[in-house]
Structure 1
């Protein structure tokens, strides 16, 4: 594999920008449209971009593990629902920084599910990351009592849980990658998620206004573009080298939140975000795999347009 650090970093940072724009548009449409309707259009309009990626390699839907693809899609769909719910109720930058807890949960889940023994560096990173979560939680600028405070606290817990669900999704992809190609995984994910979200539409359908309809098209297109850019980024350079640039998503989320919604991150959010991001970078730099891992299909960073 070629290693072009500059190209990979620019592509990954650009992917994070489009992912942040997806979350911003979901925040716009979230108060007026059902969550599953938004996710349906996201998957539907991103499907052509997934097909574009798959067309560059051997495109096949043949699989020996349909159950694994089905379960991966169910968990991935749950993650997408959590993202839409939380970006609608929390500042974009706060939701984004909480999504960065995914690597921390990945370490914890690897113990019972993969029987791994995390290194000392990983445990230090987990400790620092969850210290950051506590700092962000203590500094939330929301009422501490009453209905508004309860809703904000509930959304905060959902955002944190989304990090755990995202980690579970990553583990499922790793397991499928042992026997399935990345394009097969990506294709089944896109197809199954589109079908799953189409089924309840007759019961929840809300006709979007013209502005919302354009936002829904853009949500899917931007999610697809982010996936293409992320795929190109990891094809251009080693993950351990460009991985830290994924955290540029926090900058884009803060900028969109400020310009589009008047959201100004507080000092506690910035300090906690620094700890969470720092823990992720720590793991990337101090605990690199000893042998190449199976190629993973590119998915949006919910925390990833999860």
Structure 2
């Protein structure tokens, strides 16, 4: 289910990229609005539809939604200005930002191993980004599409990490269905509010691609959720990195994009750092479980 969700998410990215020159707010609207359809069907089938709307923390959901929309818009900008493999791979830096922000904003204790993984992963990010970011020194600056795309991708990753911290706080009191549904609704409204700022008339192929992207987003969310339901996070999460292989193949065959040496080397470093973080979290989880068992009174 996790691998299926990766493929469907990649299909969503391909549709958005293939749609061409469409304003970001319009992309966000279609991606979010049509994602609601499969999500609501799933919740109705599970008899959780009404429960999904109920919350005692609407402001927290809206804040999480707005942060998520900012990240989504930046990701879409990067997707339309960068080769597909590069845009996808830069997203893998998110767990590294989550570690940093957890220490800074939540005061969590981060040990040397994970700090080492962060630094190692950031080296990979620099290797991927350097050819594009070095274009700033040429005097072209943000007029260069790839330089702007890399900047947007890295900013989106950092903003997405903030969204993850907000989700961490929400899951303590809210159900997953509520979080997913409120995010979809918030991002749909936020996208719709950009209508006065210049949406474009869509051709039938563009409309089909955007509606398909939205449906793919909702289906992928369901598959991902079900995948985590049937196995531990530490078991399922590493399969996220198979997307790098699929993205390289899709970029080559669909858009004629050849992955650069920098992207492959940097991507492997980022993936290695991410896998180490997952492994380390799994080990710490086992240690905490063992400690709880040891401290529990015998029966």
Q: Same fold (TM over 0.5)?
A: yes
The alpha carbon displacement at 1:234 in A equals 0.7
Q: Structure 1: how far apart are the matches of 2:30 and 2:281?
A: 38
Name the SS for the 1:101 alignment partner. helix
Q: State the match for 1:74 in structure 2.
A: 66
Superposed CA deviations along residues 22-77 of structure 1, whole A, max 9, x for unmatched, are: 1111112242x211111111111110111133332533222111110010000000
Q: Structure 1: how far apart are the matches of 2:134 and 2:105?
A: 36
Superposed CA deviations along residues 128-181 of structure 1, whole A, max 9, x for unmatched, are: 100101211234498562538743222211111111111111110010111111
Q: Structure 1: how far apart are the matches of 2:92 and 2:112?
A: 20
The alpha carbon displacement at 1:255 in A equals 1.2
Choose 178-187 or 133-142, whichever is displaced more: 133-142
Contact 2:30–2:210 (8 Å) recurs in 1: yes
Q: Structure 2: how far apart are the matches of 1:246 and 1:137?
A: 21
Q: State the match for 2:19 in structure 1.
A: 29
Choose 141-150 or 61-70, whichever is displaced more: 141-150
Q: Structure 1: how far apart are the matches of 2:213 and 2:63?
A: 24
Q: Structure 1: how far apart are the matches of 2:42 and 2:102?
A: 29
Q: Structure 1: how far apart are the matches of 2:244 and 2:219?
A: 19
Whether 1:169 aligns to 2:163 is yes
Q: State the match for 2:29 in structure 1.
A: 40
Q: State the match for 2:106 in structure 1.
A: 114
What is the total number of aligned residue pairs between the two structures?
281
Q: Structure 2: how far apart are the matches of 1:87 and 1:100?
A: 14
The partner residue of 1:180 within 174, 183, 187 is: 174
- Given the superposition, is the C-alpha separation of residues 123 and 212 from structure 1 closer, same or farther in structure 2, using an over 3 Å criterion? same
The partner residue of 1:206 within 200, 205, 209 is: 200
Q: Structure 1: how far apart are the matches of 2:26 and 2:105?
A: 33
Q: State the match for 1:304 in structure 2.
A: none
Contact 2:39–2:222 (8 Å) recurs in 1: yes
Superposed CA deviations along residues 62-105 of structure 1, whole A, max 9, x for unmatched, are: 21111100100000000110111001111111111110000000
Select the structure of larger CA radius of gyration: 2
Choose 85-94 or 137-146, whichever is displaced more: 137-146
The partner residue of 2:269 within 272, 275, 280 is: 275
Superposed, 1:7-18 pairs within 5 Å as: 11-18=1-8
Contact 1:142–1:152 (8 Å) recurs in 2: no
Contact 2:62–2:186 (8 Å) recurs in 1: yes
Superposed CA deviations along residues 182-208 of structure 1, whole A, max 9, x for unmatched, are: 111111111111122112324422110
The alpha carbon displacement at 1:228 in A equals 1.4
